[in-house]
Amino acid sequence: MHIPVLKDEVIRFLNPQANENFIDATFCQGGYATAILMKNGPEGRVLGIEVDPVLYEKALNEKKGISRLLLINSSYTKLEDIVKRTNFYPVHGIVFDLGVSSWHFQESGRGFSFQKSEKLDMRYDPRQELSAFEIVNRWSADELEEILKRWGEERFSRRISRMIVEERKKQPIETTCQLSEIISKAVPAWYRRKRIHCATRTFQALRIAVNNELENASEGIKAGIKLLVAGGRIVVVSFHSLEDRIAKYIFKEKAAEGILKILTKKPVCPSESEIQKNPSSRSAKLRAAVKL
């Protein structure tokens, strides 16, 4: 079960009132949406957007009969089109959870985790063409090095990328275990002994590249701000520095233009008790703003 991170804080900053409309741009299993629906009745609605078709079908079955909830299988990069097509106006608040759901790591079978042997895939939407397999087996050493350095902040990006290219000459790199072993072989012994697994940053970089996560996040956040009514609120929950930086800079830019007022001078982080209950929440950061 995916546990929504910083749920109480998200609801506090969104501050849903009776009959207001909200968008959960990364629906997953609907933790935030359910909490909003408890506060914005009797006529307030929630638009839930879920890009993964499997999670979307699960949500449809689980949330069947909730008349104030509208679910759409699409990407939040198409936010403006979705709102226009569904006539979901006015928009009083929107939340983005930019993290990967526990379902993707534990149940999807798409190779998001190096802790089990699965096919290299990493697509949130299996209908898209680009997969981790294509990147690992087709992209040049320089292209691989660039994404590992830029999106994984991997200090041994050059060594890993060149080892990948050498190993794929022998046979295709098809599974997470194959890739993890190649990474282990490429890095120094002391790096393998660190608390964080030596494959973590490479897998993060590949996932970001496959799903175009950072560009999509920027596009979605900007569209969300544009759609909000005056007084409407936006909340962004991120899980690594690159995502948090995007939200921070967009909020600062829009604040300088007189479009937003930032509600979080510093990002809000989970409490110790939340981290104990849900260790995957430890890296989460929340930023919020209100439209002027």
pLDDT of residue 262: 98
Q: The whole model's pTM is what?
A: 0.96
Residue 149: HSE in the Cβ half-sphere, 13 Å Cα cutoff = 11
Residue 204: which H helix or E strand, with range? helix 200-211
Q: What is the mean pLDDT of the chain?
A: 97
Contact by Cβ (8 Å): 48, 72: yes
For the stretch 137-165, pLDDT in tens is: 999 999 999 999 999 999 999 999 999 99
Find, among 200, 189, 218, the residue nearest to 79 by Cα.
218
Tens digit of each residue's pLDDT (9 = 90 or more) over 253-265: 999 999 999 999 9
Q: List the pLDDT tens digit at each of the 292 positions of the chain.
A: 568 999 999 999 999 999 999 999 999 999 999 999 999 999 999 999 999 999 999 999 999 889 999 999 999 999 999 999 999 999 999 999 999 999 999 999 999 999 999 999 999 999 999 999 999 999 999 999 999 999 999 999 999 999 999 999 999 999 999 999 999 999 999 999 999 999 999 999 999 999 999 999 999 999 999 999 999 999 999 999 999 999 999 999 999 999 999 999 999 999 999 999 999 899 999 999 999 9
For strands 285-291 and 260-262, give the pairing: antiparallel
Cα(83)–Cα(25) distance, integer angstroms: 11
Of 128, 120, 222, residue with least CA distance to 178: 120
Domains along the chain with CATH numbers: 7-103+213-291 (3.40.50.150), 106-211 (1.10.150.170)
DSSP string, 18-57: TT--EEESS-TT-HHHHHHHTTSTTT--EEEEE--HHHHH
Q: What tens digit of pLDDT does each residue of 12-25 get?
A: 999 999 999 999 99
Joined together, the tokens standing for residue 249 give 């800079």
DSSP state letter for 70: E
Please tell me what DSSP assigns to residue 271: -
